[in-house]
Amino acid sequence: MEFVRVTAGEFVMGWGAGVPAERPPHSVWLDDFLIALRPVTNADFLPYLAATGAAAPPFWNTPGFADTAQPVVGLSWDEATAFAAWMGARLPTEAEWEKAARGGVADARFPWGDDRPRTPGRALPRVGATPANALGLTDLSGVCHEWCADWFDETYYARSPRRDPRGPEQGDRRVSRGGAWRHADPWSAVAHRSSLPPHLRYSDYGVRLARGARAIPSDNGGAGALRLPASTAWRERNARCSEKASSRD
């Protein structure tokens, strides 16, 4: 799994013409961080199941959701968080997700620009089927909702701190971003906010991983994005778990 470095700095979060939860647009400063180029796939998730004995998601063997290159869906927020921790990663904050999705382009309607793609069939696509943004991230719209770390509050933008916002301290719904193949209009705008009670498992809910970047040096002077593979330790563990999973077949 590859990650891209999103460099520290300010961006404008929200959309002035959006629904109330997307307003007001406000400046946010984020420290640098890493975010995965694509959502977690079934192939990524398989070694975790083999290693931990965790229950498979509800759509794991369902036709239309079982392709190894499709995003893993049907995860609750706690399950997504547990997988992220096992990977040595975490869920992105809502602000991190939007900054990464914008890719340094301030006013575009969608992560890749203003043009709406042709509406696909009503099915979960394989990863990489949607246009990439300026940082190389794909599947940010038209694929699945992606869990974020924050609790959801539709009025949060009015009081959000300017630096590294983490959402309200409590709530009954967790933020999700992007989405979603099963909507009549699957093309979610880059500023669109969604949410779900954290215990629910829906067929259009997946996860994209993030990491802190302070311990990982950049080789490009801090300018732009740096593609980083998964850690060596994770690759070794992934290989061992894949062998274990294969031996059970």
Q: What is the 3-state secondary structure (H, E, C) of 148-168?
A: EEEECCCCHHHCCCCECCCCC
Largest CA distance in the chain: 54
Short-list 126, 111, 121, 24, CA closest to 72: 126
* Every domain of the chain and the residues it spans: 3-248
Taking each helix axis as running N to C, give the angle between helix 232-248 and helix 42-52, from 0 to 180 degrees, rounded to the nearest 10: 80
Distances (CA, A) of 178 to 42, 50, 54, 229: 19, 29, 26, 23
Of the listed ranges 18-22, 98-102, 158-162, 183-187, the one predicted with least confidence:
183-187
What pLDDT does 73 receive? 98
Task: Over range 197-210, report the average pLDDT.
Answer: 98
Asked if residues 177 and 98 have their Cβ atoms less than 8 Å apart, the reply is yes
Distances (CA, A) of 236 to 68, 127, 240: 20, 24, 6
- Say how many Å lie between the first and final Cα of the chain, rounded: 24
- The 3-state DSSP class for residue 84 equals helix
Task: Over range 33-42, report the average pLDDT.
Answer: 97
What pLDDT does 116 receive? 87
pLDDT per position as a tens digit, 81-131: 999 999 999 999 999 999 999 999 988 999 999 998 876 668 999 999 899
What mean pLDDT, rounded, does the chain reach?
88
Q: For the domain with range 3-248, which CATH number is right: 2.40.30.170, 3.90.1580.10, 3.40.50.300, 3.40.50.12280?
A: 3.90.1580.10
The residue with greater pLDDT, 248 or 134, is 134
The residue with greater pLDDT, 228 or 89, is 89
